[in-house]
Amino acid sequence: MIKGSSVFLNRAGLFLPVNPVVGERQLISPGTESSIMTPSAMQSVSARRRLGLAVSALRHRNYRLYWFGQLASVLAQNMEYVAQSWLVLELTNSPLMLGFTGLSQAIPTITLTLVGGVIADRADRRRIMIAAQSGVALLYFILAFLIVTKQIALWHVMTIAFISGAVRAFDRPSRMALLPHMVPKEDIPNAVAIGGTIWQLCKLAGPALAGMLIYLFGVALTYGLCFAASLSATVLWVFIRLQHQPITKSSSGLLQQMKDGVNFIRDNELYLTFIGLTFFNSVFGMSYVTLMPVFARDILHVGSRGFGFLQSAAGGGALVGTLLAAVFSHTGRQVRQTTIGATFFGLFLMLFALSPAYTLSIALVFALGLSSQFYMTSVNQTLQLHLPEQLRGRVMGISGLAWEVTPIGGTFAGTIAEFAGAPLAVLIGGALVAGSALRIVLSKDKMIRLEPQMTPNHGEVRVAT
């Protein structure tokens, strides 16, 4: 054993000593007491062992039910985006109404997320998740029925989009805050990472599947499949059994509890830094996605076909980034992974803005998807590991809200691109992201302060040293 260290045996059969100086877990292979598996030693692990570590969270029954339910739910959500856009275009033939319909869904999500976070901390998160998913399934069914019976009108679509956005404002904080209750603490980073693969897979498969269904059978059947997928997610989640889920009891009002969540982030350097990086990524970094058609048509001169390949490269990179985060989820280096990943994302973004060649741009877009998803997954791993239970719903809700403000960044970048060109807009976004991350990386004191202390929990068994 390692002198001066406390050692724990987790459910995967790995010894996890906790270094008393830096509080960092090191992995030791079962049956060996002297060989420490540091991040640099990960390469020496057998492929089978590495694969087991990469999907360790799926060993737990509750998480498997949650994961497959998420797969069905997110697939339906990605299909819905295509079906809704196509339906509105068929009804109105107006690009403007496409924007208004998307806005009608985004507004309630943004405005109610803090409320949803408070509710997630005060009520049974599993029941909220199941109720919200049932409600979304019902909305899909109503739309399919209205289309089949030829009663559908634009106001139906916009009203249901508004209700759907409101429901998701309560669903997302509960869904994100429930995750740590389904796996032991040492598997939380892995659960976050392999959960992220769902979003990337569904981004690749969902729109293509919806487009094919609309082409072959029409929008009604597409919504019908969305209904079936959402209903199957609800059924899977009904079978999740949790021994104990703490519910925050407070005499303070709703507004005060919302304020408490915001104040907690503001007063805690770790969460303020990481959630700040998330918003920086969404507002200034991801704006390149909005301007991608401009690069394809006017700068790289590859047209719509080339634009499609650029989009696919970004999606493929994001999937690889998520898988890498899963592989490295047991290293306990989320702070370092986040800051370095954010730095590289900003640098790749600046290079993409200056790239004159299509082949180079394809490679850079792949790298952008990889680095962005790798560091954003690391952010979520850190938050899920170290958030206090009584504030988890509110903080995760605020963190998730970052993805809803991406259109703000698109507007910002579009304005610059209109007057000074798309490359300059993306170059500025990349510089801002890289600069914010480098400020942390180059400050040794700040990095030391941000390194969270790993503490054992109920999923670990203490072994005498």
Q: Please give, one letter per residue, the 3-state secondary structure of the chain.
A: CCCCCEEEECCCCCEEEECCCCCCECEECCCCCCCEECHHHHHHCCHHHHHHHHCHHHHCHHHHHHHHHHHHHHHHHHHHHHHHHHHHHHHHCCHHHHHHHHHHHHHHHHHHHHHHHHHHHHCCHHHHHHHHHHHHHHHHHHHHHHHHCCCCCHHHHHHHHHHHHHHHHHHHHHHHHHHHHCCCHHHHHHHHHHHHHHHHHHHHHHHHHHHHHHHHCCHHHHHHHHHHHHHHHHHHHHCCCCCCCCCCCCCCCHHHHHHHHHHHHHHCHHHHHHHHHHHHHHHHHCHHHHHHHHHHHHHCCCHHHHHHHHHHHHHHHHHHHHHHHHHCCCCCCHHHHHHHHHHHHHHHHHHHHHCCCHHHHHHHHHHHHHHHHHHHHHHHHHHHHHCCHHHHHHHHHHHHHHHHHHHHHHHHHHHHHHHHCHHHHHHHHHHHHHHHHHHHHCCHHHHHHHCCCCCCCCCCEEECC
What is the residue type of 380? N
- The whole-angstrom separation of Cα 391 and Cα 154 is 39
Burial label for 269, CB within 10 Å (0-12, 13-18, 19+), is exposed
Provide the pLDDT for residue 134. 95
User: Which of 18, 7, 10 has its CA nearest to residue 459?
Assistant: 10
What amino acid occupies position 231?
Answer: L
* Contact between 402 and 275 (Cβ < 8 Å): yes
Q: What is the pLDDT of residue 131?
A: 94
Residue 169 CA to residue 30 CA, distance in Å, equals: 43
- Residue 353 has a pLDDT of 92
Query: Which regions in the chain score pLDDT beneath 50?
Result: 1-44, 453-465
Amino acid at 75: L
User: pLDDT tens, 209-219?
Assistant: 888 888 889 89
Question: Out of 3.10.450.50, 3.40.190.10, 1.20.1250.20, 3.40.50.300, which CATH number does the structure's domain 60-247 have?
Answer: 1.20.1250.20
Q: Specify the pLDDT at position 316.
A: 85
- Residue 306 is predicted with a pLDDT of 79
- Tens of pLDDT along 24-47? 333 333 333 333 344 444 444 555
pLDDT (0 to 100) of residue 9: 38
Fold of 256-452: Growth Hormone; Chain: A; (1.20.1250)
Q: Where in the chain is the domain with CATH 1.20.1250.20?
A: 60-247, 256-452
Q: What is residue 47's predicted lDDT score, i.e. its pLDDT?
A: 52
Which of 180, 387, 176 has the alpha carbon at shortest distance from 272?
Answer: 387
Asked whether the beta carbons of 259 and 398 are under 8 A apart, the reply is no
Residue 46 has a pLDDT of 52
Distance CA 214, CA 86 (A): 9
pLDDT on residue 446: 60
What's the pLDDT at 187? 81
